[in-house]
Structure 1
Amino acid sequence: MSRRALHVLPPFRAEHVGSFIRPAALYEKRLLFESEQCSREDLKELEDEAIKDVVKMQQAAGIKTITDGELRRAIFWEGVFNNLEGMKALKRPIKAFKKYVPHVATQYAAGVIEAPTFFCDGKIKRTKPFYVEEFKYLKNLVAPEDVKNIKITMCAPSWIHLRHGSLETYDLSVYKNDDEYFEDLGVAYRAEINELYENGCRHIQIDNPIFCYFCSESMISGMEAEGIDHEALLDTYIRSMNLCTQGRPDDLTFGVHMCRGNYRGKHFSEGSYQRIAVKLFNDLDVDAFYLEYDNERAGDFAPLAHLPRNKTAVLGLVTTKKPELETVEELEARINEAVDAICKGDPERTREQALNQLCISPQCGFASAWQGNPVTEDDQRKKLELLVATARRVWGDSNV
């Protein structure tokens, strides 16, 4: 698979469900695991079976890009920081979190007293894989020619840093500044990426809602009130991701997924991409941008005028936050609006050229946390089938 994104590249965690977004048996076992009433091995047996179903469901819907539904994770960012030497898991008082961060503001409002996080108290080293074993398991569930279509998702290296700022993220006797901290994180990420590649992975997605947070007026004003240079911090976070993607093979497709929060069907921030579009689309070293575009909180498509000719925008037009189903006609109309926006860019593009820079997807995961969103298995399947039907109408069967 080349770096060119397929016309259906879902950033979703598609999950097999009954009355829950996850299988009822797995949901109930996860409850036991979270309360320390069963072992990881007990949980893994049910995860293995559920992932088999997830793969079959995606294939039946016509989705080529296969994920494991993140069924082994409690939350989307699990698997990275908890597997790094030098990172210590702990609970911290809510006052140690930056209140201007949109999801943290929600915790403050809800009266949360403390929350789990990580602190870097030693040199960061990747001494064990993040998701290599998960990838190997998926390889056994697809035909050899489809291994290249398996996608692995992982959280952004800046996820912990934004919540705390430099002083509360790492020990200053270990790292003197952000550059040193993110340099070592970049080394760790590249080691994971290289091992995944060696095992046949050709498609990686970084989940980074932080970039959309920079579109939020409340966060920008909160940073300014604390004297924080948000433009410089955005530059730092772009560089932190570029350290992860640098030197990757030409046949490894790399994307970034950005949303405004997705916790049990709720979002945390709003704001157009216009504030960050020029810098992000041009400076971030990725091949595809998965963009939340399921309702008005994301703004219009005008920022797509800044999309470079060599990159792809994946329009997250189908919501995962509620069961209401969009129509092919509605999605096709919105795709045409996005084409119009790209055609107005510099350099100008023909409609055909603009269309070939676009893909479609759900706007986010069906379950960024293990409890899931308020949709059913049937809702989920219909939304995936809708995406495939729309892609076939717009781009033709050969491009789905």
Structure 2
Amino acid sequence: MPCTSALHLRPPFRADHVGSLLRSSALYEKRHLFEKGKCSVEELKLAEDEAIRDVVDLQRKAGMKTITDGELRRSMFFEGVFENLEGMQYIPNREFALMTSRYIPHIEMMYDAGILEAESVYCNGKIRRAKPFHVDEFKFLKTLVAPEEVKFLKVTMCAPSWFHQRHGSDHTYDLSVYRNDDEYFDDIGQAYRAEIKELYYLGCRHIQIDDPTFCYFCNDRMIAQMEATGVDHEALLDTYIRAINICTAERPNDLTISVHMCRGNFRGGMHFTEGSYARIAAKLFRELDVDTYYLEYDTPRAGDFTPLKYLPLDKVVVLGLVTTKSPKLESMKGLKSRINEAVDVLCHGIPKRSRNIALRQLCVSPQCGFASVWQGNPLTEDDELRKLTLVTEIARQVWEDAC
């Protein structure tokens, strides 16, 4: 990092990216065949191995210090966790009629599109981490970097609330197994902590939790529908904060845990929700036990930077200013101006702080991944490289100039 902070912050590098990357044409075609049942798991894995080597090179070429495997082994960002938990029954085509949370923006959008079922899980037994989530992926990624670079590798995983927000308490778990949400999330948290412990033992020092749910609580329409149906959205938000805090408890001091608050990144980069962070910022910045927040700020849908005033002095925000939903390249001047706006808000925040300290609490990244689902967003690999290179260049100019 260009700067070191007297606040003992544990930020990612000033230029970062959220995690998922575009599939190469070769891997795209192989995955397409696999989805049609015309390609074996072994054949797909060989294509994934080669594509991951390429995306590691791409990230280096862009000047990125943080390296991920691009989530290239996943068809969707949330794969790898729930289907690997003992006590979870995988349901390939669960009817949305069994999902009580129709007010959830992406469920409502699917209903409107005539999609009435989706893959899901149901908890019918005590939850236990019977096998790893992403350990094997990390082990392979380690083989592609020098030993001294392992600490720069980042693992992404979906939030513990992912399926619960779809189904609600009544349809997420068997009430004879778990009496309430606290019991359910207690055991999920234990499973996450076991995964985090093993990843740390293998050398991982940055784990990112991808959570679309928090931004749903910024959506005025969803909040109104919840209130109309008698759902206590404040209590539910508290439940989801607690769920992550169980996962991150007792972590080592040199392990950075971040959360990315996504607004939707489905096929073609489709978004699901909008609304200012103002409704949730104070609570999330003060109560969520993570080190870093990746916030999407690429469009006016996210509102202005005013909610950043609640950021404590010991946490970091990564400003997602560069969009992954369009190939159009943002201007350097415009990005610098927006970073300065965020700095101004922090300077007058609660508590107030100097510009130097405020700048040290910020980083920059694309607003989301380039391919949260395997089909990816409407960009080419060249577009992706230009976007990532822009992020590293803006970070170099802003933070190296400041130091």
TM-score by length of 1: 0.96
Provide Cα deviations, 1:148-194, integer angstroms capped at 9, x if missing partner: 00000000000000101001000001100000000000000000000
Gaps of 5+ in 1: 16-21
Answering whether residue 214 of structure 2 is matched by residue 207 of structure 1, we say no
Which of residues 184, 187, 191 is equivalent to 1:188? 191
Cα distance between partner residues in 2 of 1:228 and 1:359: 36
Aligned equivalent of 1:179: 182
Aligned equivalent of 1:92: 94
Cα distance between partner residues in 2 of 1:126 and 1:358: 35
Letter in 1 for 2:97: K
Provide Cα deviations, 1:348-384, integer angstroms capped at 9, x if missing partner: 1111110110000000000000000001111110001
Letter in 1 for 2:85: L
Answering whether residue 290 of structure 2 is matched by residue 290 of structure 1, we say no
Indicate if the aligned counterparts of 1:12 and 1:362 stay in contact, CA closer than 8 A: no
Indicate if the aligned counterparts of 1:161 and 1:169 stay in contact, CA closer than 8 A: yes
Larger deviation, residues 337-346 vs 146-155: 337-346
Cα distance between partner residues in 2 of 1:118 and 1:280: 27
Cα distance between partner residues in 2 of 1:297 and 1:346: 24
Aligned equivalent of 2:48: 47
Answering whether residue 25 of structure 2 is matched by residue 14 of structure 1, we say no
Answering whether residue 387 of structure 2 is matched by residue 388 of structure 1, we say no
User: C-alpha displacement at 1:48, in angstroms?
Assistant: 0.1
Percent of matched pairs sharing the same residue: 63
Aligned equivalent of 1:343: 347
Count of residue pairs brought into register by the alignment:
393
Provide Cα deviations, 1:279-319, integer angstroms capped at 9, x if missing partner: 00000000000000001000000000000000000000000
Aligned equivalent of 2:141: 138
Cα distance between partner residues in 1 of 2:172 and 2:244: 17
User: C-alpha displacement at 1:110, in angstroms?
Assistant: 0.4
Answering whether residue 163 of structure 2 is matched by residue 160 of structure 1, we say yes
Letter in 1 for 2:394: T
Answering whether residue 225 of structure 2 is matched by residue 218 of structure 1, we say no
Aligned equivalent of 2:338: 334
Cα distance between partner residues in 1 of 2:21 and 2:358: 28
Which of residues 251, 261, 267 is equivalent to 2:271? 267
Cα distance between partner residues in 2 of 1:12 and 1:177: 33
Answering whether residue 121 of structure 2 is matched by residue 114 of structure 1, we say no
Cα distance between partner residues in 2 of 1:37 and 1:274: 48
Aligned equivalent of 1:19: none
Provide Cα deviations, 1:26-46, integer angstroms capped at 9, x if missing partner: 111111211222221110000
Cα distance between partner residues in 2 of 1:86 and 1:36: 28
Q: Equivalent residue of 2:183, what SS?
A: helix
User: C-alpha displacement at 1:47, in angstroms?
Assistant: 0.1
Q: Equivalent residue of 1:176, what SS?
A: coil
User: C-alpha displacement at 1:113, in angstroms?
Assistant: 2.1
Cα distance between partner residues in 2 of 1:369 and 1:359: 25
Aligned equivalent of 2:305: 301
Q: Equivalent residue of 2:269, what SS?
A: coil
Letter in 2 for 1:230: H
Indicate if the aligned counterparts of 2:24 and 2:381 stay in contact, CA closer than 8 A: no
User: C-alpha displacement at 1:397, in angstroms?
Assistant: 8.1
Aligned equivalent of 1:67: 68
Indicate if the aligned counterparts of 2:19 and 2:71 stay in contact, CA closer than 8 A: no
Cα distance between partner residues in 1 of 2:139 and 2:298: 33
Letter in 2 for 1:5: P
Cα distance between partner residues in 1 of 2:146 and 2:353: 38
Which of residues 374, 377, 382 is equivalent to 1:378? 382
Aligned equivalent of 1:254: 257
Aligned equivalent of 1:278: 282
Aligned equivalent of 1:359: 363
Aligned equivalent of 1:323: 327
Larger deviation, residues 34-43 vs 267-276: 34-43
Provide Cα deviations, 1:257-298, integer angstroms capped at 9, x if missing partner: 012101121101100000000000000000000000001000
User: C-alpha displacement at 1:114, in angstroms?
Assistant: 1.5
Cα distance between partner residues in 1 of 2:50 and 2:219: 40
Provide Cα deviations, 1:109-158, integer angstroms capped at 9, x if missing partner: 00112211110011101010000011011111011111000000000000
Answering whether residue 82 of structure 2 is matched by residue 81 of structure 1, we say yes
Give the 4+ runs in structure 1 shifted more than 4 A: none
Q: Equivalent residue of 1:280, what SS?
A: helix
Cα distance between partner residues in 1 of 2:38 and 2:59: 32
Letter in 2 for 1:37: K
TM-score by length of 2: 0.96
User: C-alpha displacement at 1:398, in angstroms?
Assistant: 11
Gaps of 5+ in 2: 2-8
Letter in 1 for 2:65: K
Letter in 2 for 1:94: F
Cα distance between partner residues in 1 of 2:29 and 2:397: 40
Indicate if the aligned counterparts of 1:3 and 1:254 stay in contact, CA closer than 8 A: no
User: C-alpha displacement at 1:88, in angstroms?
Assistant: 0.8
Provide Cα deviations, 1:194-226, integer angstroms capped at 9, x if missing partner: 000000000000000100000001111111111
Indicate if the aligned counterparts of 1:3 and 1:250 stay in contact, CA closer than 8 A: no
